[in-house]
Amino acid sequence: MRIGVLLLPADPWPQSVARARHLEALGYAHLWTYDHLSWRRYRDLPWHASIPWLTGLAAATSRVRLGTMVTSPNFRHPATLAKDAMTLDHICGGRLTLGVGAGGTGFDATVLGGPAPTPRERSERFTEFVEVLDGLLREPAYNHRGTYYTVDEARMIPGCVQRPRLPLAVAAAGPKALSLAARIGDAWITYGDPNATDQSAAATEAAVRNQAAILDERCAALGRDPASLDRYFLVGSTEERPLASVDAFEDFVGRYERLGFTDVVFHDPRPGDPVLTEDPEIVDAIAERLL
């Protein structure tokens, strides 16, 4: 089981660099950030753009993998995102994983002036978004004309460092997105059922087990080995608080490893944040025992 940390791009730059270097030195496998223009309770607080922020961390680190968890079509066009990601893959020496999701209904959904998409539109747009990203990142020249995107003679030279392209980690909870992850993704991201009223540990595990079964079925229908996808669980959206102690975290990791997950990612605690309230020292303690 690999363990990673999600950092909010909300701190002064020297502080972010120092934290990333410390987490890398502790032995964490990957570092992630959200890709938003503004986000929830940080709406009117400092919040940096994810791609330049990750580019700076790429230059400040040497081993740890980096990624978005997740970028979405809400304000991204696949042609410009693919070019940025390809370039970042070179800067970090092939350490980038691009996490992608359908996009929420918050600030980012309407920031460019259009109406918020319906659930069906979000699903259809996401499928096309990932298909176009896949093509762009694989091919030196690419064309596409679809419902949501047009790409006319895009060039993607010299291509990604990682071949045939950098990994795409698809965030998926429902059957359609899980089918997309099985068809195109190199990895699957989940945090449980986003629509569940029961967010207990048992209910979340049951939801994730059901999602994994659907993913396995979709892979089998495609003739794909389900084990060829890495599986990421993002901690922090349910009632369970595995960062309460090292013992609690070790138990949590063991349970999700038995569910077939290859990776667990948790949010870095933030003093003063009303939600990410765990003791920051837990991060070092987890590394000391488990890494």
**pLDDT tens by residue, 36-63:** 999 999 999 999 999 999 999 999 999 9
What's the whole-number mean pLDDT along residues 189-202? 92
C-alpha to C-alpha distance for 55 and 59, rounded to whole angstroms = 7
List, for residues 249-270, the tens digit of each pLDDT value. Answer: 999 999 999 999 999 999 999 9
Domain holding 259, by residue range, is 2-290
Average of per-residue pLDDT values in the chain: 96
Q: Which of 203, 176, 179 is nearest to 192 (CA)?
A: 203
C-alpha to C-alpha distance for 176 and 182, rounded to whole angstroms = 10
| Contacts of residue 262, Cβ cutoff 8 Å, sequence gap at least 6 | 1, 2, 230, 231, 232
Count of the separate structural domains present in the chain: 1
What pLDDT does 83 receive? 98
Burial readout 196-231 (b: 16 or more C-beta within 10 A, e: otherwise): eeeeeeebbbebbeebbebbbebbeeeeeebeebbb
Evaluate whether 222 touches 266 at the Cβ level (below 8 Å).
Answer: no
- Look up residue 19 and give its two tokens: 């934290």
pLDDT confidence bin for 105, thresholds 50/70/90: confident
| Contacts of residue 224, Cβ cutoff 8 Å, sequence gap at least 6 | 182
pLDDT confidence bin for 239, thresholds 50/70/90: confident
C-alpha to C-alpha distance for 263 and 187, rounded to whole angstroms = 10
DSSP conformation letters of 159-198: --SSSSS--EEEE--SHHHHHHHHHH-SEEEE-S-TT-S-
Q: What are phi and psi of 152, to 5 degrees?
A: -115, 105
**CATH code of the domain containing 38:** 3.20.20.30
List, for residues 25-42, the tens digit of each pLDDT value. Answer: 999 999 999 999 999 999
Question: What is the percent of the chain where pLDDT is above 70?
Answer: 100
- Look up residue 75 and give its two tokens: 């304000």
What pLDDT does 237 receive? 76
Q: What are phi and psi of 67, to 5 degrees?
A: -165, 165
Evaluate whether 225 touches 260 at the Cβ level (below 8 Å).
Answer: no
C-alpha to C-alpha distance for 152 and 49, rounded to whole angstroms = 27
List, for residues 70-104, the tens digit of each pLDDT value. Answer: 999 999 999 999 999 999 999 999 999 999 999 98
What's the whole-number mean pLDDT along residues 137-153? 98
DSSP-assigned letter for residue 44: T
